[in-house]
Amino acid sequence: MGYKLSMLPDERHGSDTNVRASSATELGLSATIVRVAWLAVLLGLGMELLLVIVIAGSGYFPGIKTIVADFVR
């Protein structure tokens, strides 16, 4: 009978492992979503910066008020 009692904690440990694995998967998914969101933000800022550099290199550079109005819009 002692043998069966020693098996019970192992069975509970197995179910706890499944719960931990699913929460770890959810944590990994949310971390991936946050990472992708930040990469999208950085990509947008990089594109805006590249646009400003191309416009400045072409010789046409509007005043600071026009630039601020474009960024706010």
pLDDT by residue (tens digit) across 8-55?
555 555 555 555 666 667 778 889 999 999 999 999 999 999 988 888
DSSP class of residue 59 equals T
pLDDT band at 59 (very low <50, low <70, confident <90, very high): confident
Residue 27's pLDDT is 77
63 φ/ψ angles, rounded to the nearest 5 degrees: -65, 165
C-alpha pair distances (Å), 45 with each of 41, 52, 60: 6, 11, 21
pLDDT band at 66 (very low <50, low <70, confident <90, very high): confident
Question: How many CA atoms does the CB half-sphere of 45 hold within 13 Å?
Answer: 6
55, 61 contact by CB (below 8 A): yes
The domain limits of the chain are: 2-72
